[in-house]
Amino acid sequence: MTNSNSSLLFLLKKHNFQPYIQRFLQLPIVNITIGIIIILSVILTIVELSIPEKSPYLLICNTFSKIFTILFVIELSFRFIVAPNKKVYFKEYWLDILAILPLLRVFRSIRALRLLRLLRILRLSRFFNRYASTFPYILQRGIKEYLIVVGLLLLTIMFGSVAILVFEGSSNPNLTSLEEGFWFSVYSLFAGEPIPASPSSLGGKIVGVFVMFMNVTIFAMFTGTVSAFMVDKIRREDDIVDWESFNNHTIICGWNRKAEIIVREYKAAGKNEGIPIIVIAEFDDEPNFIAPDLKSRIQFLKDDFTKVTALEKAGISRAETCIILCDKTHSRSDQDADARTILAALTAEKLNPNVYTCAELLNREYGSHLDMGHVNDYIVSQEQSGFLLAQAALNRGLMGVFSELLTYERGNQFYRITITAEWVGKTFLDLFIHIKQTHNAILIAVSQPQGKFKINPDRYIFQEKDNLIVISTREIKL
């Protein structure tokens, strides 16, 4: 950079204008203006290299080219100032830095180096990718690939058209104008051989080989992109779902190993037969199942489960149960994962106060947020695992009991049943004996309407709306 630019950098750093510069560079109008200047700069470079060196218009083109390049120097300097990581900055903008080299006096005499300005065309793909969220979903998924293919195609044709004219314009009668250079690039790119005439100079031959090499590269990328597009389109057509048809269903927010266990338990318990479980999670492809037969019980919705639109699309207003799992994808910290869980749980309760919401936390300290939001239940997964390990160490062999009681796939399980009117006013012991004698089940606790539990109470008189917690091999009715 020049001395004036170095002084500018020093002044801006001294007065800490970085936040203002960063906000300025993020303005849409600034990015659009830069994109327009890039297009004008590329067009001007093509015109400048295609006209004779003695042309009176060459000085005008050179002047505007210098103005555009100075603007890019200022812009890149600003980006360098606000860049938190200089290595990342040079990795992202090294092509743009190469494109401003013709401004330096040592490179001005080499006309062919002006071709470096054409590299700016690749930067347009970055601007389009930045605003890809406004495109349809199918384009969002492959926007980078599409832009890379189009960018390489345009760059190859423009570079070949101008470069072949620079090296062959004075010696090859078949390549004396920009139009002939353009058709040379197009024919050579698609035919894979120099057409209509082979270059005679070393520089021209290198340009011809480059264009033919890009033929193979772009064709391979184009074929792969179109194939991926068609496969994705066909797969998405197969996955068209009538989300409005789901009712009294279960929604699982997030996906990890626990989600598959939950689905397996639902299947073993025979709950919601014929009603798929909707899983809201962010992933590119559907996950692999340890038990492939469970896939038919799940309908995936690829979205962020903290968004209101995603929960509404999954039918949270009609759902019976909503389970929010800890989401640590994308290298999220424990605090971020719990924050997403709390946000999703509170949103689900707000959208449907009648849905039974159960959330997974990593830190019990955040449980108070769920209590204030009237979330029905939550577990602290790491804490629960610690309790089980402690019980296994203190009471040897106890894990076998827990393993049977916590799964519906074998033996005895926990069941929740509603008390009938005939048992209201009677004691816990009376019903304990009746259930054991009649159903070979064990009454262990009472769930009260306020959400409190009485586990193995000494003396308890049943009231209306009490629920019973029993251990049994099957679901029973009083």
User: Is residue 211 a part of any domain in this protein?
Assistant: yes
CATH (domain of 458): 3.30.70.1450
How many domains does one find in the chain? 4
Clarify whether residues 323 and 418 are in a common domain.
no
Distance between CA atoms of 106 and 196, rounded to whole angstroms? Answer: 36
pLDDT value at residue 137: 46
User: Is residue 16 a part of any domain in this protein?
Assistant: yes
| pLDDT confidence band for 26 (50 / 70 / 90) | confident
pLDDT value at residue 347: 94
Which whole number is the average pLDDT over 428-432?
Answer: 92
User: Is residue 61 a part of any domain in this protein?
Assistant: yes
Range of the domain at 288: 243-384
> Considering 104, 123, 142, which residue would you say is the last residue of a domain?
123
Which whole number is the average pLDDT over 343-370?
Answer: 92
| pLDDT confidence band for 134 (50 / 70 / 90) | very low
Clarify whether residues 470 and 429 are in a common domain.
yes
Clarify whether residues 286 and 197 are in a common domain.
no
319-339 pLDDT, tens digit per residue, is 999 999 998 887 788 899 999
pLDDT value at residue 222: 75
78-116 pLDDT, tens digit per residue, is 888 878 777 877 877 777 777 777 666 555 555 555 566
Which whole number is the average pLDDT over 388-398?
Answer: 84
pLDDT value at residue 162: 77
Clarify whether residues 103 and 15 are in a common domain.
yes
Q: Is the pLDDT of residue 186 over 70?
A: yes
| pLDDT confidence band for 52 (50 / 70 / 90) | low
Distance of CA 32 to the CA centre of its chain: 25
Clarify whether residues 377 and 257 are in a common domain.
yes
CATH (domain of 229): 1.10.287.70
295-315 pLDDT, tens digit per residue, is 778 888 888 999 999 999 999
**Of the given ranges (243-257, 266-280, 340-354, 432-446), which has the lowest mean pLDDT?**
266-280
**Of the given ranges (56-60, 174-178, 412-416), which has the lowest mean pLDDT?**
56-60
Look up residue 346 and give its two tokens.
């509170």
User: Is residue 47 a part of any domain in this protein?
Assistant: yes
Clarify whether residues 319 and 264 are in a common domain.
yes
Clarify whether residues 467 and 376 are in a common domain.
no
Q: Which single residue is written with the structure tokens 């994808």?
A: 329
pLDDT value at residue 119: 63
Clarify whether residues 93 and 225 are in a common domain.
no
pLDDT value at residue 276: 81
Amino acid sitting at position 93 = Y
Clarify whether residues 343 and 306 are in a common domain.
yes
Arithmetic mean of pLDDT over the chain: 78
Look up residue 135 and give its two tokens.
């495109």
Positive or negative, the CA dihedral 143, 149, 152, 155 is: negative
Clarify whether residues 254 and 370 are in a common domain.
yes
Distance between CA atoms of 371 and 375, rounded to whole angstroms? Answer: 6
| pLDDT confidence band for 1 (50 / 70 / 90) | very low
Clarify whether residues 294 and 331 are in a common domain.
yes
> Considering 123, 154, 179, which residue would you say is the last residue of a domain?
123
Per the CB < 8 A criterion, the answer to whether 432 and 375 are in contact is no
Distance between CA atoms of 128 and 131, rounded to whole angstroms? Answer: 5
Percent of the chain predicted with pLDDT > 90? 16
pLDDT value at residue 133: 46
Are β-strands 453-455 and 442-447 bridged in parallel, bridged antiparallel, or unpaired?
antiparallel
pLDDT value at residue 350: 93
Tell me phi and psi for residue 360, to 5 degrees.
Answer: -110, 125
Clarify whether residues 95 and 179 are in a common domain.
no
User: Is residue 398 a part of any domain in this protein?
Assistant: no
Nearest to 127 by CA among 255, 4, 32, 17: 32
User: Is residue 399 a part of any domain in this protein?
Assistant: no
Name 114's Cβ contacts closer than 8 Å, sequence gap at least 6. 45, 48, 49, 65, 102
| pLDDT confidence band for 361 (50 / 70 / 90) | very high
Assess whether the previous peptide bond of 196 is cis (omega < 30° from 0). yes
> Considering 105, 123, 141, which residue would you say is the last residue of a domain?
123
Q: Is the pLDDT of residue 253 over 90?
A: yes
Residue 51 half-sphere exposure, CB side, CA atoms within 13 Å?
14
| 348 vs 39, residue with greater confidence | 348
CATH (domain of 298): 3.40.50.720
Distance between CA atoms of 124 and 127, rounded to whole angstroms? Answer: 5
User: Is residue 73 a part of any domain in this protein?
Assistant: yes
Q: Is the pLDDT of residue 155 over 80?
A: no
202-246 pLDDT, tens digit per residue, is 877 888 888 888 878 878 877 877 777 666 665 554 455 667 778
3-state secondary structure the chain: CCHHHHHHHHHHHHCCCHHHHHHHHCCHHHHHHHHHHHHHHHHHHHHHHHCCCCCCHHHHHHHHHHHHHHHHHHHHHHHHHHCCCHHHHHHHHHHHHHHCHHHCHHHHCCHHHHHHHHHHHHHHHHHHHHCHHHCCHHHHHHHHHHHHHHHHHHHHHHHHHHHHHHHHCCCCCCCCCHHHHHHHHHHHHHHCCCCCCCCCCHHHHHHHHHHHHHHHHHHHHHHHHHHHHHHHHHHHHHCCCCHHHCCCCEEEECCCHHHHHHHHHHHHHCCCCCCCEEEEECCCCCCCCCCHHHHHHEEEEECCCCCHHHHHHCCHHHCCEEEECCCCHHHCCHHHHHHHHHHHHHHHHHHCCCCEEEEEECCHHHHHHHHHCCCCEEEEHHHHHHHHHHHHHHCCCHHHHHHHHCCCCCCCEEEEEECCHHHCCCEHHHHHHHHHHHHCCEEEEEECCCCCEEECCCCCECCCCCEEEEEECCCCCC
User: Is residue 228 a part of any domain in this protein?
Assistant: yes
